[in-house]
Structure 1
Amino acid sequence: MDYYQLKEEIIQYSKEIGIDKIGFASASVFDELKQRLTVQQGLGYQSGFEESDLEKRSNPDLLLPKARSIISIALAYPSKMKAAPKSTKADRRGIFCRASWGQDYHVVLRDRLSKLESYIKEKVPEVKIKSMVDTGELSDRAVAQRAGIGWSGKNCAIITPEFGSYVYLGEIITNLPLLPDKPLEDQCGSCNKCVDVCPTGALVQGGQLDSSKCIAFLTQTKGFLPEQYRAKLGNRLYGCDTCQTVCPENKGKDFHFHEEMEPDPEIAKPKLKPLLTMSNREFKEKFGHVSGSWRGKKPIQRNAIIALAHFKDTTAIPDLIKLLHTDPRPVIRGTAGWAIGKIGELEASDELQKAFANELDHDAKLEIEKGIELLERR
């Protein structure tokens, strides 16, 4: 087998199926990554969404015995929305981060990886392969960095020279001895913009993230959002792009190569009030195909309530009062009570007092009490 020729053929085929960048890395243990993850774990900086077994995250051989190489792929996604709707006083809007525009990127990348797998199996029928996207054990970023896709930026994203950090990543572990590519040199230099402007200080320092403070993580939690982060949330419903939008390497980067990644403006930037009364079925029908729906509607609705408080949207008070009295979920009732107080509609004081008297959930009662206190201050 001419593995040099095979690599060239894989590269050529990847272009034909819409893979924007491809790189090759050895499947040796990611020792530096393991050390870094051990520190992160010790500091309590992990989100809890990732694989907890650090050996699996850093040793490809545990995932595919006798692994020899890893193929890393990147697909560029849009950074600008065409015909983005405006938020008005009558209809305030929220926003999903760019990584949740268009079809769920897991589906898109798995399609490309599946095609690439089939191609390699045609060439080498006895090949052993394991593919993964984001939710797999390996760190996509560590693989992409080793494979020369890009360098790991201070914002903890892979930054490519061609597409900035607006790329989705996936990889294929194989037992084929494919020639590895050279990693790129770090090009962040003295720039520290992402660290300086992170809304919650989650970027502790360049390349180190405290996930528990990261807005992208916080928008996906299901409980009460800690009060110190609510003002920072703004109108974000899912994810956060701040550390990407301020990056000089992303200036002018906007690619529309893949139709399935194009955002529907009414989904990527939806009206907030309709979200409050949306049924599970309606939510799945409208948002089920985007990556930001994976945690269900509760976090999105909670974030929508906080966004309405951010806008001080008095037109949302009737909907919030209804949630306060009738929603079966304590997190939604309590957040609605807090939001009513934050908006400052004094006429709603009686409704808050009634809800406080009837509330049985301890945490929801505390949030409603906060709403009452906010009104009393006014």
Structure 2
Amino acid sequence: MDIRTFKEEVVAYSKEVGIDKIGFASVDVFGELKARLKRQQDLGYQSGFEKGSLEERTEPNRLLPGAQSIISVALAYPSKMHDAPRSVKGERRGIFCRASWGRDYHDVLRDRLQKLAAFIKERFPEAELSSMVDTGELSDRAVAERAGIGFSGKNSAIITEEFGSYVYLGEMVTNIPFEPDEPVDDSCGDCNICVDTCPTGALVEGGQLNAQRCIAFLTQTKDFLPDEFRTKLGNRLYGCDTCQTVCPKNRKKDFHNHKEFEPDPEVAKPKLIPLLSISNREFKEKFGPVSGSWRGKKPIQRNAILALAHYKDKTAVDELIRLMKDDPRPVIRGTAAYGLGKIGTAACYAAIEEAQAAEENEDVLFEMEKGLQFQNQ
């Protein structure tokens, strides 16, 4: 088989199955990435969600012995929500980041990669293929950069010419020796808007992210949110889009190529107070299909409490008092106490003082004290 012709056939078929962009990369060791990851590790900048060793994350042949190339794919997702509901006094809403709008992108990308793999195997029966999306060992961004999908921006995202950085990435390691594509030039230039605008300073410098300070990471943690980040959260329930929305390369980029990624406004921008009493079953039914649900309802509810505190929403007081007194989870009880203190009505402080008498958890008691301290501010 002529590999060059076959590559053209693979590219053509990828368009038929809804892959917006495809590129091909060598399986050479990602040496620069390995050094960068080692530095991230030494500085304590990793999120802890990373999979695999440094070697597995940077040496494709460890994932598929005999590998000769990597296919990188990208699917565009929307940046604007049609008929988005407004967050108004008395009915405040939270927000999921754009990457969690619509159906879980892991499922959609795997579907496209499976179709592409079936096409390849049908025409090249001896092909060996190993696909991954986000949760695999390889860095989706490093592969996409090498494959010419886009360049790695200062916001640590892959920025494509066509779709900006609003793309999901996946890859397929194979033993077929496809000719690699050329990487595209970095074109952030002197622009530093994303670094300057990052709410928590997580973008240490262009291309270097301290995941421990990134709101996108922090919204997924399950413990008490560190104090310094609570006022930075705003109404974010999952993820953060700031470094993308301020990027000039994303101006006027809004693609609705895949019906699976169209957001349900009541899921992507839900009312906050109903989230506080949602059952596990209701949460799974409503939010289970989106990627932002993967850590369960506890982080979402904690973030919802902080969003209500951000708004100083007095209509949430009764529900927050209920959580502070009755919820079995210390993080939720304590965060509710903090939220009540920030809302700051006389009823809030009286409820905190009353709940203190019955509370035994030291962490929750500490949060109650924080809540009461708002009286003196």
TM-score normalised over the length of structure 1: 0.99
Find the aligned partners of 1:53 and 1:356 in 2 and give their Cα distance.
46
**Map of 2:132 onto structure 1:** 132
1:348 is displaced (CA, Å) by 2.3
After superposition, the CA RMSD in angstroms is 0.6
Matched, 1:56 2:56: yes
The residue identity in structure 2 corresponding to 1:211 is A
Q: Deviations over 1:48-81 (max 9, x none)?
A: 0012510000000000001100000000000000
**Map of 2:308 onto structure 1:** 308
Matched, 1:269 2:265: no
1:314 is displaced (CA, Å) by 0.4
Q: Deviations over 1:168-217 (max 9, x none)?
A: 00000000100000000000000000000000000000000000000000
Find the aligned partners of 2:330 and 2:355 in 1 and give their Cα distance.
12
SS in 1 for 2:357: helix
Q: Deviations over 1:216-239 (max 9, x none)?
A: 000000000001101100000000
Aligned 1:230-241 pairs, distance under 5 A: 230-241=230-241
SS in 2 for 1:358: coil
- Structure 1: state its 5+ residue gaps: none
SS in 2 for 1:23: strand
The residue identity in structure 1 corresponding to 2:124 is V
**Map of 1:348 onto structure 2:** 348
Find the aligned partners of 2:61 and 2:210 in 1 and give their Cα distance.
29
SS in 1 for 2:70: strand
Matched, 1:75 2:67: no
Matched, 1:66 2:66: yes
Find the aligned partners of 1:207 and 1:362 in 2 and give their Cα distance.
40
Find the aligned partners of 1:109 and 1:123 in 2 and give their Cα distance.
21
Matched, 1:366 2:369: no
Number of positions where the alignment pairs a residue of Structure 1 with one of Structure 2: 377
1:16 is displaced (CA, Å) by 0.2
The residue identity in structure 2 corresponding to 1:70 is I
Aligned 1:240-279 pairs, distance under 5 A: 240-279=240-279
**Map of 1:284 onto structure 2:** 284
**Map of 2:219 onto structure 1:** 219
Find the aligned partners of 1:330 and 1:136 in 2 and give their Cα distance.
33
Find the aligned partners of 1:22 and 1:56 in 2 and give their Cα distance.
23
Find the aligned partners of 1:357 and 1:156 in 2 and give their Cα distance.
48
Find the aligned partners of 2:350 and 2:196 in 1 and give their Cα distance.
43
Find the aligned partners of 1:52 and 1:349 in 2 and give their Cα distance.
48
Find the aligned partners of 2:3 and 2:171 in 1 and give their Cα distance.
18
**Map of 1:190 onto structure 2:** 190
Find the aligned partners of 1:42 and 1:362 in 2 and give their Cα distance.
33
The residue identity in structure 2 corresponding to 1:146 is R
Aligned 1:18-37 pairs, distance under 5 A: 18-37=18-37
Q: Deviations over 1:130-155 (max 9, x none)?
A: 00000000000000000000000000
1:18 is displaced (CA, Å) by 0.3
1:349 is displaced (CA, Å) by 2.0
The residue identity in structure 2 corresponding to 1:80 is K
Find the aligned partners of 1:349 and 1:265 in 2 and give their Cα distance.
35
Find the aligned partners of 2:303 and 2:368 in 1 and give their Cα distance.
17
**Map of 2:16 onto structure 1:** 16
Find the aligned partners of 2:325 and 2:231 in 1 and give their Cα distance.
24
Find the aligned partners of 2:252 and 2:28 in 1 and give their Cα distance.
36
Aligned 1:38-57 pairs, distance under 5 A: 38-57=38-57
The residue identity in structure 2 corresponding to 1:107 is D
1:323 is displaced (CA, Å) by 0.1
Find the aligned partners of 1:162 and 1:11 in 2 and give their Cα distance.
17
TM-score normalised over the length of structure 2: 0.99
Matched, 1:317 2:317: yes
Which stretch shows the higher mean deviation, 355-364 or 225-234? Answer: 355-364
Percent identity, aligned pairs only, is 68
The residue identity in structure 2 corresponding to 1:190 is D
Aligned 1:90-169 pairs, distance under 5 A: 90-169=90-169
Find the aligned partners of 1:52 and 1:344 in 2 and give their Cα distance.
46
The residue identity in structure 2 corresponding to 1:253 is K
**Map of 1:181 onto structure 2:** 181
SS in 2 for 1:179: coil
